[in-house]
Amino acid sequence: MAAQNLEEIISLCKRRGFIFQSGELYGGLQGVYDYGPLGVELKNNLKAAWWKANVYENDNIYGLDSSILAQKKIFFYSGHETTFCDQMVDCRKCKKRWRVDHLVDARCEHCGSQDLTEPKPFNMMFKTIVGPVEDQDSYAYLRPETAQGIFTNFKNIMDSLSPKLPFGVAQIGKAFRNEITPRNFIFRVREFEQMEIEFFVKPGEDEPWHQEWVERRLTWWKAQGLSEKRLTLSAQGPEELAHYAKATVDILYQFPHGFEELEGVANRTDYDLGSHTQGQAQVAIQANVAVNKDSVHKLTVQDPPGKHFIPYVIEPSAGLDRGVLAVLTEAFHEETLSDDRKRIVLKLKPHLAPIKAAIIPLKRNEPALVETAQTIKHSLQRLGLGRIAYEDTGNIGKSYRRHDEIGTPLCITIDYDTLCTTEENEKSGTVTIRERDSMAQKRIPVSELIEYIQRFYR
Angle at 298 between CA 297 and CA 300, to 5 degrees: 80
Under the binding rule (CB under 6 A), the answer on residue 408 touching ligand GAP is: no
Distance in Å, CB of 75 to ligand GAP, minimum:
12
When binding is defined by CB under 6 A, the residue of 41, 270, 321, 330 that contacts ligand GAP is 321
Applying the rule CB under 6 A, the residues between 236 and 255 that interact with ligand GAP are none
Smallest distance from ligand GAP to CB 259, Å: 13
Q: State which of residues 22, 66, 317, 399 lies at the interface with ligand GAP (CB under 6 A).
A: 317
Task: Determine, following the binding rule CB under 6 A, whether residue 276 of this chain makes contact with ligand GAP.
Answer: no
319 binds ligand GAP per the rule CB under 6 A? yes
DSSP H helices, 91-244, are 147-152, 154-161, 206-223
Told to check if 269 binds ligand GAP by CB under 6 A, we report: no
Site for ligand GAP in 157-186 (CB under 6 A): 177, 179
Residue at 239: amino acid letter: E
Stretch that binds ligand GAP, among 111-119, 149-157, 315-323, 438-446 (CB under 6 A): 315-323
Quote the CA–CA distance of 296 and 304 in Å, as a whole number: 19
Query: Residue 274 carries which DSSP code?
Result: H
Size of interface with ligand GAP, in residues (CB under 6 A) = 19
Chain centre distance of CA 251: 14
Return the number of the residue (263 or 415) whose C-beta is nearest ligand GAP: 263
Q: Which of 165, 110, 145 is nearest to 313 (CA)?
A: 165
Q: Residue 39 interacts with ligand GAP (CB under 6 A)?
A: no
Is there binding between residue 264 and ligand GAP (CB under 6 A)?
yes
Residue nearest to ligand GAP (CB): 319
**Contact flags string 141-160 toward ligand GAP, x per CB under 6 A:** ----x-x-------------
CB of 223 to ligand GAP, least distance (A): 18
Instruction: Measure the CA angle with vertex 279, ends 277 and 283; round to 5°.
Output: 125
Q: How far is the CB of 130 from ligand GAP (least distance, A)?
A: 23
Of the candidates 347, 14, 44, the one whose C-alpha atom is nearest the C-alpha of residue 185 is: 14
Contact call for residue 351 and ligand GAP (CB under 6 A)? no
- CB of residue 320 vs ligand GAP: minimum separation in angstroms? 8
| Distance from C-alpha of 414 to C-alpha of 445, rounded to nearest angstrom | 11
Contact 400, 412 (CB under 8 A): no
316 contacts ligand GAP (rule: CB under 6 A): no
Distance CA 385, CA 391 (A): 18
Given 123, 194, 408, 430, the residue binding ligand GAP (CB under 6 A): 194
CA distance 90 to 105: 15
- DSSP assignment of 136-148 equals TTSEEEE-S-SHH
Contact indicator for 273, 313 with CB cutoff of 8 Å: yes
275 binds ligand GAP (CB under 6 A): no
Site pattern 102..141 for ligand GAP (x: CB under 6 A): ----------------------------------------
When asked if residue 262 is in the footprint of ligand GAP (CB under 6 A), the reply is yes
Let me know: does 361 contact 414? Beta carbons within 8 Å: yes
How would DSSP label each residue in 400-454?
HHHHHHHT-SEEEEE-HHHH---TT-TTTTEEEEEETTT--EEEEEGGGHHHHHH
Q: Could you report how far apart the first and last alpha carbons of the chain are, in Å?
A: 27
Q: What are phi and psi of 294, to 5 degrees?
A: -65, -40
Nearer to ligand GAP, 176 or 400 (CB): 176
Those residues whose C-beta lies under 8 Å from the C-beta of residue 37, and which sit 6 or more positions away, are 17, 354
Question: Is position 192 an interface residue for ligand GAP (rule: CB under 6 A)?
Answer: yes
198 sits near ligand GAP (criterion: CB under 6 A): no
Contact yes or no for 237/251 (Cβ under 8 A): no
Part of the chain binding ligand GAP (CB under 6 A), chosen from 74-82, 207-215, 257-265, 373-381: 257-265
Q: Which stretch binds ligand GAP (CB under 6 A): 59-67, 316-324, 360-368, 412-420?
A: 316-324
Between residues 253 and 400, which has the closer beta carbon with respect to ligand GAP? 253
217 in contact with ligand GAP (CB under 6 A)? no
Which of 41, 86, 261, 417: binder of ligand GAP (CB under 6 A)? Answer: 261
Instruction: Using alpha carbons only, give the angle 340, 341, 343 rounded to the nearest 5 degrees.
Output: 130
Length of the chain: 458
Q: Per CB under 6 A, does 188 bind ligand GAP?
A: yes
Q: Does 330 bind ligand GAP (CB under 6 A)?
A: no
CA–CA distance, 318 with 196 (Å, rounded to integer) = 6
List interacting residues with ligand GAP (CB under 6 A): 145, 147, 177, 179, 188-189, 192, 194, 196, 261-264, 315, 317-319, 321-322
